[in-house]
Amino acid sequence: MPLPDDFARALADRYGKRFSTAEAVRAHHGHDESHFPDALPDAVVWPHATAEVVDIVRLCHRHRVPLIPFGAGSSLEGHILATRGGLSMDLSEMNRIVALHAEDMDAVVHPGVTRKALNAALHGSGLFFPIDPGADASLGGMASTRASGTNAVRYGTMRDNVLGLEVVLADGRVIRTGGRARKSSAGYDLTRLFVGAEGTLGVITELTVRLHPLPEAISSATCAFPDVASAVRTVIQTIQLGVPVARIELLDALTVKAVNRYSKTTLREAPMLFFEFHGSPTGVEEQARSVQELARDNGGQDFEWATRQEDRTRLWQARHEVLHASINLLPGCKAISTDVCVPISRLAEAIAGTQDDIAASGLIAPIVGHVGDGNFHVVILTEPDNPAQVHAAEALGRRIVERALRLDGTCTGEHGIGIGKQDFLLAEHGDGVAVMRSLKATLDPLNLMNPGKIFAAAGD
């Protein structure tokens, strides 16, 4: 369904070059990092201020045009695909850091600010923002998918690090969901309602986020293990011992191989844990000693320290490139990235079962994970024109999620539901999904805000 003429004309009049229906622009906005087919919006608009977002949302409301908030386009479950057409609202030019309150360790930012841009702005302040999904995602997008990353085991996820939001609702009303106090018992937690709502309840136009003091000392290490099970046992024991590790990441042998090839590292091609410790110099040393002992007890070898800043940067850069490194294992392939999270005591079982499934599938599928949270990903690679492989990959992905649910886990630790996991959401939350639907119908009765994502809305 094309856009109504007067709608498109109004946007063109008001936003000039910041409104586009060009094919290339639409293609860029109808494509994310998931394996789902592209779905192009009918047009794209770049607002620069909340008042413009309000204006555009009201136009969409009046003309019944679906609206899809777009950040960096790095989502992994098809969140920004325009499966029902409509207008893509690209928030990347709403990218001002509105305020830095170093003394309160918070920042007020526009939704288009990326995590790297925020950290660059914090340079010299003694503070940092820890949430780090692989991509340089926008903070609005990260809030919308309740993103996390390698630091979540110590610093939490977007759920924990957003203090408050400004949101434009489907009817154009603007609300603020929280102030800068560290805690509040004032009414319903609207902040947490919009964090993770994947743009289906409104457009986030400002975020107040928590910052953290840069640790006095940091050290990173890698350790190779004879098998994934030994590595996982080390992780479980570390968490249960209460060691406040900042990062504890698992890479299976295939992932390490992919990383060596893509990021030019020379890691031993065995299952590995990457660690990072934050604290005072003695605290860091103490944590590292505890973990090193646990690793040794579990057969860990080659505990190697990355003490220099540049070595650490290289190591974590390589870790963040894992998705691209994995895809690079099979040139021209499509990648399906799974994202389950289980209670830590079930992690060994979840991963062992997954390894068996991968072996049985015959597919190339490296495993990597934020294992301190019980969260791991399998990057399943398929040749693009091999329907049997795609079929096998989908079956493998399903088995991994079904096992996680049987083990009291969740179908997504950090990527979100998007269009890819709606059946699993139902399996996981049952009648809770009906409640989610009723909240959606209340706040977006015309089903215009990123429609078709998370669940089929009432009346769909």
Within residues 311-370, the interface with its own copies by CB under 8 A covers 339, 341-345
- Other Cβ atoms less than 10 A from the Cβ of 315: the count is 23
HSE at residue 190, side-chain half, CA atoms within 13 A, is 19
Contacts (Cβ under 8 Å, ≥6 apart) of 11 = 19, 43, 45, 56, 59, 87
Question: What contacts 346, CB < 8 A, 6 or more positions away?
Answer: 374, 407, 408, 409
Select from 31-39, 193-201, 219-227, 385-393 the region that touches its own copies (CB under 8 A): 193-201
One-letter amino acid identity for 38? D
Q: CA angle 230-232-233, nearest 5°? A: 65
Spatial distance between the Cα atoms of 236 and 384, rounded to a whole number of angstroms: 37
CB of 347 to its own copies, least distance (A): 10
Picking from 123, 207, 206, the residue whose alpha carbon sits closest to that of residue 158 is: 207
CA angle 301, 302, 303 (to 5 degrees): 95
Stretch that binds its own copies, among 59-67, 98-106, 249-257, 291-299 (CB under 8 A): 98-106
Of 166, 170, 150, 167, whose CA–CA distance to 220 is shortest? 150
CA distance 165 to 146: 13
Q: Find the shortest distance in angstroms from Cβ 128 to its own copies.
A: 11
Question: Site residues for its own copies, window 371-400 (CB under 8 A)?
Answer: 373-375
Name which of 169 and 322 has its Cβ closer to its own copies: 169
Closer Cβ to its own copies, 195 or 224, answer by number: 195
Under the binding rule (CB under 8 A), the answer on residue 274 touching its own copies is no
Q: Work out which of 5, 13, 23, 103 binds its own copies, going by CB under 8 A.
A: 103
Residues 3-62 that bind its own copies (CB under 8 A): none
Stretch that binds its own copies, among 264-272, 302-310, 322-330, 419-427 (CB under 8 A): 419-427
Least Cβ distance, residue 80 to its own copies (angstroms): 15
**The only residue of 430, 456, 458, 460 in contact with its own copies, by rule CB under 8 A:** 430
Query: Please, which residues have CB within 8 angstroms of residue 45's CB and are 6 or more apart in sequence?
Result: 11, 15, 18, 19, 20, 56, 87, 88, 89, 90
Closer residue to its own copies in complex, CB, 52/414: 414
Closest to its own copies by CB, 47 or 178: 178
Question: Considering only residues 78, 111, 134, 196, which one is a binding residue for its own copies as defined by CB under 8 A?
Answer: 196
Q: Is 406 in the site for its own copies (CB under 8 A)?
A: no
Q: Distance between CA atoms of 197 and 204, rounded to whole angstroms?
A: 10
Q: Which of 19-27, 235-243, 256-264, 351-359 is the region at the interface with its own copies (rule: CB under 8 A)?
A: 235-243
Q: Which of 74, 148, 151, 382 binds its own copies (CB under 8 A)?
A: 148
Which of the ranges 19-27, 100-108, 218-226, 300-308 carries the binding residues for its own copies, by CB under 8 A?
100-108
Strands 203-210 and 162-168: antiparallel
Q: How far is the CB of 57 from its own copies (least distance, A)?
A: 14
Q: Which of helix, strand or coil describes residue 9?
A: helix
Total of residues contacting its own copies (CB under 8 A)? 91
Nearer to its own copies, 85 or 202 (CB): 202
Contact in structure between 105 and 94 (CB atoms under 8 Å): no
Query: Segment near its own copies (CB under 8 A), from 16-24, 140-148, 319-327, 389-397?
Result: 140-148
Alpha helices in 215-280 (DSSP H): 228-240, 253-263
Q: Which stretch binds its own copies (CB under 8 A): 40-48, 53-61, 188-196, 218-226?
A: 188-196
Provide the minimum distance between the beta carbon of 438 and its own copies in the complex, in angstroms, as a whole number. Answer: 5
In the chain, the largest separation of any two C-alpha atoms, in whole Å, equals 70
Among 412, 450, 451, 457, binds its own copies (CB under 8 A): 412
Q: Name which position in 327, 417, 448, 449 contacts its own copies (CB under 8 A).
A: 417
Residue choice 25, 97, 352, 441 for contact with its own copies (CB under 8 A): 441
Query: Cα(367)–Cα(382) distance, rounded to whole angstroms?
Result: 15
Q: Is 14 helix (H, G, I), strand (E, B) or coil?
A: helix
